[in-house]
Amino acid sequence: MDDLLYQNIKVRVKQLYGIDLEHYKDQQMKRRLGSWLVRSGYSDWDTYFAQIKQDEKENGRLRDYLTINVSSFFRDPERWKTMQKEILPLLYAGRAGSRTSGEMRFWSAGCSIGAEPYSLIFQLDEMNHRNSYHLLATDLDRGALKLASEGGPYRKEDVDNISAERLEKYFISVAPPFYVKPEYIRRAKFSELDLINDNFEENFDLIICRNVVIYFTTVTKKYLFQKFSAALRPGGILFVGGTEIIPQAADLGLRSCGISLYQKTG
């Protein structure tokens, strides 16, 4: 895909969806777009854009594809073990020992199909923290959000890291398709949110944003990490992807406190 064609696609995507592809890495997005056109069975982008003007379903499929969603329950199991054994107890102890009252505040940013907020809900349930928190889960992909808010259906590969005991306790069936039980669905608030353009809520104890920022340019990454830092309370934790490192974290008011974990200072 040459630069002129890509520039034209970026303009049309922004007009259609308000999604600015300038924030994404060029080569990655060009590959994704080329792959999508082939899979969709069209010979060129002019023909495809003419089609989606009159095809609402295809229009929605492209919008959701552009938001890049890859997720599974307890992805990187060792990191999630650290979350349950060390980070969550630390956060609850810190809140109990401070002057700050009220419920704990958690946010799964770029929650995709809901695997990450549900993973957190299961851990909090096992720690007997069932009614002591507010959990916000957001994404730009409306299709993924619909699946998340309905608790499924999930495929076998989505739940590969879930034990038989957890499957039995938290899901309606222990065979695919898997659905989260309604009482656990109700513990999260699912909402559409654009990380780049929308304002964030504040005073979160924990923000989970894993394998989302990696698709953006260096400038956009820094901008988002600044926004996440501002949205955390002092002492709050940002939980990022297994391969993600925040350069010059101290300049953003963050310090590394373990693999994939950054704590807000001050």
**Residue 16 CB-density burial (10 A; 0-12 exposed, 13-18 middle, 19+ buried):** middle
| Percent of all residues in the chain with a pLDDT value above 90, rounded to a whole number | 71
So where are the chain's domains?
3-66, 77-264
Distance CA 54, CA 148 (A): 28
User: Is the CB of residue 104 less than 8 Å from the CB of residue 91?
Assistant: yes
Ramachandran class of 52: left when φ > 0, alpha when ψ lies in -120 to 50, beta otherwise? alpha
- Give me the residues paired with residue 153 across strands: none
Write out pLDDT tens, residues 162-189. 999 999 999 999 899 999 999 999 999 9
The band of 98, judged by pLDDT with boundaries at 50, 70 and 90, is low
pLDDT single digits (tens) 102-134:
789 999 999 999 999 999 999 999 999 987 899
Fold classification of 77-264 (topology level)? Rossmann fold (3.40.50)
Q: Is 56 exposed, middle or buried (0-12, 13-18, 19+ CB in 10 A)?
A: exposed
CB proximity list for 243: less than 8 A, separation 6 or greater: 214
Give dist(CA 108, CA 188) in Å, integer: 10
The dihedral through the CA atoms of 196, 197, 198, 201 has a sign that is positive
